[in-house]
Amino acid sequence: IFGCFEADTALVFHVLNLRGGEITGSYSQTVIGHHPGMKEAVSSFVLQYYEIQPPPKRIFVPLQAEALDLLNRDLAVLLGRAGMASCPRRGWNRKLMKMAESNARAGFDKWQTTLERTGLAMDRLRDMAGMKDLRRINCFDISSFVSEDAVGSMSVAIDGKLAPREYRVFHPRMSANDDLSMMKEVVMRALKKMPVGDGDTMFLLDGGRGHLDAVGPVLAEAGPGVCLAAIAKARPAEGLLLDRIY
């Protein structure tokens, strides 16, 4: 059973999976930005959903008349089954569709609240850093597993949201006992493969003042407008009870 909620900024789909009249699972997806319209979006989502999911005998969608006929035609081509889709008008399935639509609306409200909170956090971080704009944060960390082996990593957030495709792993050539030199090397190698932005990029290091001093000259050569900061985690055992930002 497919439910959908439409807003100016996004479409949210919620799918209820049924077996024997009982809900066995659910799935939600938010589509951000411009969309072709409710009917077209629902049909497109259903077809894409069953390209990767095993199809049931019947599906229920919030479509009527011509749009429903077109979806059934496309499903017949995709799955080789005719008349799979229908829109319940009454009864238990109608109630479940209303539930799916309500869940889609709740999903939109949650997404919008998260977006607003993220925007406020990004604005606060931008102001603290004295930047005119902040879109991209490159986070660097050095992990030492044994004395002879260390790995550097770069995680990226764009507009407050993690960007998994931007994740990078580096194997430093410097000594695993020299954390500052490894951090400098990793940042230098990362800079060769990515733009630094136009005054909207922050480099955030896992470390302290020493790491800032090591990496600062590297970023100074990269261009103006790049913000550099470091964060050191609290170490209660050493009497450092709070995270420190430099």
For residues 63-88, average pLDDT = 91
Predicted confidence (pLDDT) per residue in 100-142, tens digit = 999 999 999 999 998 888 988 899 888 988 888 888 999 999 9
- Which three-class secondary structure state does DSSP give residue 39? helix
Predicted confidence (pLDDT) per residue in 196-222, tens digit = 666 688 999 999 899 999 999 988 877
CB 187 within 8 Å of CB 170: no
Predicted confidence (pLDDT) per residue in 131-171, tens digit = 888 889 999 999 876 656 789 999 999 988 889 999 999 98
Strands (E), 48-135: 59-60, 85-86
Report phi then psi at 187, rounded to 5: -65, -40
pLDDT at position 148 is 61
Confidence band (pLDDT; 50, 70, 90) for 188?
Answer: very high
- Which three-class secondary structure state does DSSP give residue 150? strand
Where is pLDDT greater, at 47 or 194?
Answer: 47
The CA distance from 87 to 61, in Å, is 5
The pLDDT of residue 98 is above 90: yes
Q: Find all residues with CB under 8 Å of 48, minimum gap 6, and list them.
A: none
Report which DSSP code applies to 130. T
pLDDT at position 59 is 94
Q: What percent of the chain has pLDDT over 70?
A: 93
Q: Tell me whether residue 84 is exposed, middle or buried, using C-beta atoms within 10 angstroms of its C-beta: 0 to 12, 13 to 18, 19 or more.
A: buried
